[in-house]
Chains A and B, each alone.
Chain A
Amino acid sequence: MTVTLAQAINRALTDAMAEDDRVLVFGEDVGRLGGVFRVTDGLQSRFGEQRCFDTPLAESGIIGTAIGLAIYGYRPVAEMQFDGFTYPAFEQLVSHLAKLRNRSRGTLTLPVTVRIPYGGGIGAGEHHSESPESYWVHTAGLTVVSPGTPDDGYAMVREAIASDDPVIVMEPKRRYWMKADIELPVTAPPAHEALVRREGTDVTIVCYGPMVRTALDAAEAAEEEGWSLEVLDLRSLSPMDTEAIVASVQRTGRAIVVHEAGRSLGLGAEVAARVQEAAFYHLEAPVLRATGFDTPYPPAKLEGYWLPDVDRILDLVERSLAY
């Protein structure tokens, strides 16, 4: 069956709600409209207005009440409409959702899932193309995952909802319409295991979310140049599968990290640090980063220059191989 990422996530929400009546889905426009990306389409008509509801327009309210509902005993799945609109909820995410488990010495359990469509590449308006994942990864107490395929969309959302810890699911909005031929429900390895999406021998491309497809395209194009790229999909950003990264780099001796987010203190910095800590003597070249620039996200007409793409990755592959 042909399934898009958006449909796979929709099905994951549907199945989770059907299995456990403590699962609630809420956010801006998720009910009647089915979400601005239709990811929650049909949930309200199937499960009723108490299980899938439109909230007032207030992101701090959405996350804060998700916390309260979780403490009471529900399993909330909150949607942030867009990456750039998570910032009003920053306080609730960072000071409360992330910390209550620790503050309560393990007494409180916060099985909250926060779904965030993120990233650029769809020509969207200002504030609709942000990549804020580093904020969450930097926040102890949050688990952060990002699916790069429809299968993972299904599996990761199911796993997030089943988790007793708060999980942020960073959904690559430019891949919502990406298709796969799969039968749902699918199973996948747990999200904390990174997966080699394509084996190669020359350079490891470490990527996640929207850049998995881009990295695979780069690997395809690299073949023409006679370069063999290994594509490692991190899947989970926190925790990060250091072992898988190190194992791959030990094989190839080279690594390039790819993400849309700006370079400074992006995940590439963390990957590079872990690689040099654990595989210093295996490295044939410094770890390089194909990323967005350290500027605010550009207007839509310029995003093609800003976002990492196949060419930017291949430029770095060439540089890495030239060491």
Chain B
Amino acid sequence: MVDDLQRAGSGQLDPTSLLPPAEPVHLLDPDGTLHEDPDHPVGLDDAALLELHRTMIITRRVDREAINLQRQGQLGVYASCLGQEAAQVASAWALQDEDWIFPSYRELGAAIVRDVDPADLLHLFRGTWLSDHDPYEHRFALLSIPIGTQALHATGFAMGARFDDNPIVTVVYFGDGGTSEGDPHEAMTFAGVMRAPVVFFVQNNQYAISVPLAKQTAAPTLAHKAIGYGLPGYRCDGNDPLATYAVTRRAVERARAGHGPALIEALTYRMEAHTTSDDPSRYRSDEELEAAALTDPIVRLRNHLRNRDLLDDATERRFEEEAAERAQAVRDAIYDAPHGDPLELFDHVYVAPRADLAAQRDELRAELARREDDDGGAA
């Protein structure tokens, strides 16, 4: 078999094999009816489906708690993932434990799958510190605010894994807006050429702050962007947890098997404001929001589980209670959390200690001491 890579650039690679399907992969109707698709087997047992549901419920509850905390002045700002729980949780669910996730700033759901303590992420939004979890422990990189930049990191990481014959895959999350930045395009170029086992997971939530998709791209779909780099473009209904899982799993295992990177466009909708600082009434209508609410990912899986008698009232209550406990734990960790030691600002700038920074640290220490004296004197 002639390798696709040898054909790439020669005009011999058939581009139609890379094209996204005409319709996004969709398996679960809003009423919970499942349409099986032999090309996209789900392969999750009943227990796993319940776990998926439980994790989405926890995600939504913790997300709401974060919004509350911001409203109460405990967080500076927060970017909610309301409505995107399936896109995040089900895609992260499709990974092996050793696989790495490179998130943007909105991926609370993926973080929860990876057992990252949500409070640790929220410290970034509180401004306590700039991160608070160990990426190696969770295989979950730091949140990345400069749009799209993390796509290159995920690609480089995957290149390293490939060089070492380490059978891991990376998944990088970015948004519809992120597909316009240069970095993801350079990342896809590298990933294609280097055969890096990376999956570019685009959550198309229809907006980049106020800018709707139609003003973001003239491409037929975001998945079509993949083809220019020799990557297949996949599309799924991102509010359908089972379709998202199946499509991501296929792309991830394809990459793991050495067949190269892929791009997935998951169609979803940002139900909240861009962040708590944003006022979406300036650019979108209530009707649009109401229509989007009908495609809610959690209701959909719940309906499916209910239809199949897999979810009873007691289990549902248990999930809700657990979610409330998780939210309370986050609240306890964040509420009035003290800020760190300002002198620590000098500790992590370099690996090797530096005399110039040590001198500046001493300056700040002296300044703090003087202020304490002044405050003491005034009291």
Interface residue count on the B side (C-beta < 8 Å) = 45
Nearest CB of chain B from residue A67's CB, rounded to whole Å: 16
The answer to whether A57 and B180 have CB atoms under 8 Å apart is yes
- In whole angstroms, how far apart are the Cα atoms of A36 and B180 in the complex? 19
Assess whether B283 is interfacial by the CB under 8 Å rule.
yes
Interface string of A260-285 (1 = CB under 8 A from B): 00011000000000000000000000
The answer to whether A57 and B216 have CB atoms under 8 Å apart is yes
Pick the residue among B211, B282, B356, B360 that contacts A54 (CB under 8 A).
Answer: B211
Interface string of A274-302 (1 = CB under 8 A from B): 00000000000000000001111011111
The answer to whether B210 and A32 have CB atoms under 8 Å apart is yes
Nearest CB of chain B from residue A317's CB, rounded to whole Å: 13
For residue A315, which residues in chain B have a CB less than 8 angstroms away from its CB?
367, 370
Pick the residue among B147, B357, B367, B374 that contacts A57 (CB under 8 A).
Answer: B147
Tell me if A's interface is mostly helix, strand, loop or mixed: loop
Stretch from B9-17, B34-42, B120-128, B306-314 contacting the other chain: B120-128
**Which B residues lie at the A interface, using CB under 8 A?**
76-77, 123-130, 145-147, 177-178, 180-183, 208-211, 215-217, 277-278, 282-283, 339-340, 342, 345-346, 349, 356-357, 360, 364, 367-368, 370-371, 374
Nearest CB of chain A from residue B223's CB, rounded to whole Å: 17
The answer to whether A123 and B127 have CB atoms under 8 Å apart is yes
Known A32-B282, A61-B180, A300-B76: A306·B124 in contact at CB below 8 Å: no
Pick the residue among B125, B183, B209, B282 that contacts A125 (CB under 8 A).
Answer: B125
Pick the residue among A124, A306, A311 that contacts B76 (CB under 8 A).
Answer: A124
For residue B357, which residues in chain A have a CB less than 8 angstroms away from its CB?
293-295
Which single residue of chain A is at the shortest CB-CB distance from B127?
A300
Which single residue of chain B is at the shortest CB-CB distance from A125?
B77
| Interface residue ranges of A31-47 to B (CB < 8 Å) | 31-34, 36
The answer to whether A28 and B209 have CB atoms under 8 Å apart is yes
The answer to whether B208 and A57 have CB atoms under 8 Å apart is yes
Assess whether A101 is interfacial by the CB under 8 Å rule.
no
The answer to whether A311 and B371 have CB atoms under 8 Å apart is yes
Nearest CB of chain A from residue B120's CB, rounded to whole Å: 13
| Interface residue ranges of A3-33 to B (CB < 8 Å) | 28-29, 31-33
Nearest CB of chain A from residue B340's CB, rounded to whole Å: 7
For residue B211, which residues in chain A have a CB less than 8 angstroms away from its CB?
28-29, 54, 56-57
- In whole angstroms, how far apart are the Cα atoms of A29 and B177 in the complex? 11
Nearest CB of chain A from residue B87's CB, rounded to whole Å: 19
Assess whether A221 is interfacial by the CB under 8 Å rule.
no
Stretch from A80-88, A172-180, A192-200, A233-241 contacting the other chain: A80-88
29 CB-based A-B contacts, threshold 8 Å: A28-B208, A54-B211, A56-B217, A57-B177, A57-B178, A57-B181, A58-B181, A59-B181, A61-B180, A85-B146, A88-B181, A125-B77, A125-B124, A126-B124, A126-B130, A126-B145, A128-B145, A264-B356, A293-B346, A294-B360, A295-B360, A296-B130, A298-B342, A299-B124, A299-B126, A301-B340, A302-B127, A306-B345, A311-B374
The 3 closest A-B pairs by CB, nearest first: A300-B127, A301-B339, A33-B210
Interface string of A52-69 (1 = CB under 8 A from B): 001011111100000000
- In whole angstroms, how far apart are the Cα atoms of A289 and B125 in the complex? 31
Nearest CB of chain B from residue A96's CB, rounded to whole Å: 15
The answer to whether B340 and A302 have CB atoms under 8 Å apart is yes
Nearest CB of chain B from residue A24's CB, rounded to whole Å: 16
For residue B374, which residues in chain A have a CB less than 8 angstroms away from its CB?
311
The answer to whether B180 and A56 have CB atoms under 8 Å apart is yes
Which single residue of chain A is at the shortest CB-CB distance from B142?
A126
Interface string of A141-163 (1 = CB under 8 A from B): 00000000000000000000000
Assess whether A305 is interfacial by the CB under 8 Å rule.
yes
Known A54-B215, A125-B124, A299-B128: A305·B146 in contact at CB below 8 Å: no
For residue A294, which residues in chain B have a CB less than 8 angstroms away from its CB?
349, 356-357, 360
Q: Which one of A29, A58, A312 has the greatest number of beta carbons of chain B within 10 Å?
A: A58
- In whole angstroms, how far apart are the Cα atoms of A298 and B128 in the complex? 9
Nearest CB of chain A from residue B180's CB, rounded to whole Å: 4
